[in-house]
Amino acid sequence: MGDVAVGARSGHGGPEEQPGRSDEPEATAGGVNPGSDTAGASAAPGEQDGKPAKDAKKPRSFWKELPLLIGIALILALVIKTFLVQAFSIPSDSMQNTLQQGDRVLVDKLTPWFGSEPERGEVVVFRDPGHWLDGEPTPDPNAIQRVLGWVGLMPSADEKDLIKRVIAVGGDTVECKGTGPVKVNGKALNEPYVFEGNTPCSVDDQGGQFKETVPPGKIWVMGDHRQNSLDSRYHQNQPGGGAVPVDNVVGRAIVIAWPPTRWATLPKPDTFDQPGINAAMSAAPAALGLAGAVPVVLWRRRRLTVAAARAARVSGGGTAG
């Protein structure tokens, strides 16, 4: 009958198969019919080529990872303390009111690695240049405090460090008479950071009155609490004359980090930028330039003299001929 399309199937039965023709697609290798619901489906989870797959690697638990995380944190803290920033605790009132006893400051240790030297007005931490801390009480930290101090997570109690303000640098002449003001290279300093009620200088014969030229490679430091600071003024009878070697400087205090109510930066006061305060240093290049120019002038004068003498001999010879 020509009314029935060959191969059409309704799913509910149909004409009988004709000899030599199959209405069903050929089965693929393995006996799976691609036209069936299972054609192209992957193996069941955990099986591959008919065999169970190896167990997937499970992530380590948090408690197993914790020691590794702590180790990395300690190493980073040690690197930061050694090369970048370190916390220091203020042990006394010698820098009031800029710094209070118990404050924690962060000190920049990076810039000295690149040859930067302390500048006038900066607050710096430095190692004891010799016997400045004699008689001072020594803290007795517990084991945990020692470990945290060693890696830089707490101020170290073992380091013999001081913190003061740089008033003058190598080559400067710093002086103070009477109650002040302090003068650097003849320029009077306006010091609003000096503790209220203090005078810039102390009237005493133990170091409060002074006039010193700071040796090259050293700095002159003073506390902001002038009448409560054993600084460069009171160590003039020791080696170095009270000046601190630049090599002893640990770094510059940049910010008060603790307590939060005391948070503040520690910028350089404007008084140290006044014109003429660098007069001593600016004169040095001029002097060097003058010293270098003298031989050139003398050499030029000699050449002119020799040339004039030769010209005179030539002129005299022509006349005689």
> Which tokens hold the place of 17?
């198969």
At 304 the three-state DSSP class reads: helix
Using alpha carbons, select from 222, 216, 218 the residue that is nearest to residue 183.
222
Angle formed by the axes of helices 62-79 and 143-151, nearest 10°: 60
Angstrom distance (rounded) from CA 85 to CA 111: 10
Angstrom distance (rounded) from CA 297 to CA 193: 50
109, 164, 183, 218: the active-site residue: 164
- Degrees to nearest 5, angle at CA 251 with 249 and 252: 120
> Which tokens hold the place of 154?
């707490």
Q: Tell me how crowded residue 202 is: count the other CB atoms within 10 A of its CB.
A: 21
Q: Is 202 among the residues known to form the active site?
A: no
Q: Is 229 among the residues known to form the active site?
A: no
Angstrom distance (rounded) from CA 254 to CA 27: 80
Angstrom distance (rounded) from CA 90 to CA 93: 8
89, 94, 202, 229: the active-site residue: 94
At 151 the three-state DSSP class reads: helix
Angstrom distance (rounded) from CA 192 to CA 269: 9
φ/ψ of 257, rounded to 5, equals -100, -20
Q: What is the DSSP letter of 84?
A: I
> Which tokens hold the place of 22?
């199959």
Cβ atoms of 200 and 176 within 8 Å: the answer is: yes
**Concatenated DSSP letters of 199-252:** -SS--STTTTSEEEEPPTTEEEEE-SSGGG---GGGGTTSTTTT-EEGGGEEEE
Active site (catalytic) residues: 94, 164
